[in-house]
Structure 1
């Protein structure tokens, strides 16, 4: 059963790794799927394509700069036995040489999808590859910060040309929701109501066109902002529970990843570039 879009493979892969104890989120800083397991230091990264190709290999190699736990994933279509991208033994051999893990997804009409791991990532210490450290401001730290800052998994891995629900968009939504209830307010008041420390920057930059300045230090919601609150109503509902759960985790419960990811950022986290670059 051939898939038409990469996104069709995301749900089976997500379910597979969730059963292994991972928390999964899609489209995190350009990675199709990112997973975090409390007892593991290295995040899981999976890049998804309909078929095995050079682009997938190159993406996988780039992700090895962020983690040693990287998989490439493709559909396994039994109707394409003679196709180049179905020469599994050769493709597995290539992935092993590169230190990548490989998995396939077989879709059926009448039974659940089958996810199979053909080889696991080489991991740190193999092929001279070391565990990537978590330094403030590094790409890995930004990946983890974005992962933990999101209230839930609102994106489907493999999506293209779609608006992503990033941590920045969630922050702007909280400010918009608070402004809707107040009708008109100052940044400091919104920062308290929405629990967003960077509320003033979100309002001033107005990246999405959701806010309008009515007088010095006073803002109100635009029609675009009202529409966004309706469009992302489900995200707003999940935000409350997600943020409360994140705040309830003690410093020793989430491990080194969460402690570093939630440390004060050495860079601005409310720039327009952050809003849509994920």
Structure 2
């Protein structure tokens, strides 16, 4: 008899990702400690993925309301029926806390996503509770990523941050063009943090050959090979720029 696969929080991610992409959002996993962040125009939405409802989870979700009023909790579809007193009490609690609730039918082949309740519409709430600095930091993290390389709900897994992707971008350009200055790298599109990244050299990927000029070392060459999708993205970016000249 085949052993039943143990549920994980990451099992919730793909169905919810697909749902919000269909709704017109750009969706990213593991952003600034949030399991899932989705952006559409000026609207920021956060989803915390968990296998069970707990008090700690509710506390965590209310803390996310400092970033946006649009905060959801997603859980596997529970066995309790929607008509039960227990379920009605849960829904009432979410409404009182201004939180959204999503349930995912993990047992079904389609992994159906059901929005049980939405948070209050942000157009009317006006983000009164939002910490603008933290919200801006989260949006900067989202905007600094070229794509979604993480799965929300992951544990014991290395997360691709905007900072690390920026390091990979610099490494790819150095690998393609050889030694370059921060100024030249910025002209290629590596951004304002280029000089800081090269000087701090957090991952030990870069060597300074002379003042203001850097190369990619063997460690860097070896490490970026672990991220072929990102490397290919930035190589194609170079090729597009060359073709447009």
In which range does the TM-score fall when normalised by the shorter chain? 0.7 to 0.9
- Tell me if 1:142 matches 2:152: no
From 85, 100, 119, the equivalent of 1:121 is 119
Number of positions where the alignment pairs a residue of Structure 1 with one of Structure 2 = 233
- Tell me if 1:55 matches 2:53: no
TM-score (norm 2): 0.83
**Structure 1 equivalent of residue 149 of structure 2:** 154
Q: In structure 2, what is the Cα distance between the partners aligned to 1:76 and 1:122?
A: 22
Q: In structure 1, what is the Cα distance between the partners aligned to 2:177 and 2:23?
A: 44
From 159, 164, 172, the equivalent of 2:159 is 164
**Structure 2 equivalent of residue 71 of structure 1:** 72
Point out the more displaced range, 227-236 or 170-179: 227-236
- State the Cα distance separating 1:88 from its structure 2 match: 2.7
- State the Cα distance separating 1:194 from its structure 2 match: 4.8
**Structure 2 equivalent of residue 33 of structure 1:** 36
- State the Cα distance separating 1:56 from its structure 2 match: 1.5
Q: In structure 2, what is the Cα distance between the partners aligned to 1:197 and 1:99?
A: 38
**Structure 2 equivalent of residue 228 of structure 1:** 223
Residues 143 and 123 of structure 1, relative CA distance in 2, 3 Å threshold: same
**Structure 2 equivalent of residue 264 of structure 1:** none
The aligned runs of 1:1-278 (5 Å cut-off) are: 3-38=6-41, 41-78=42-79, 81=80, 87-108=86-107, 111-124=109-122, 130-132=126-128, 138-239=133-234
Q: In structure 2, what is the Cα distance between the partners aligned to 1:90 and 1:101?
A: 14
Point out the more displaced range, 175-184 or 64-73: 175-184
Residues 174 and 194 of structure 1, relative CA distance in 2, 3 Å threshold: farther
TM-score (norm 1): 0.74
Q: Can you give the 5+ residue segments of structure 1 that lack an aligned partner in the other structure?
A: 244-278
- State the Cα distance separating 1:158 from its structure 2 match: 1.0
C-alpha distance after superposition, 1:147-192 (max 9, x if no partner) = 1221111111112232222211121111101111233333223333
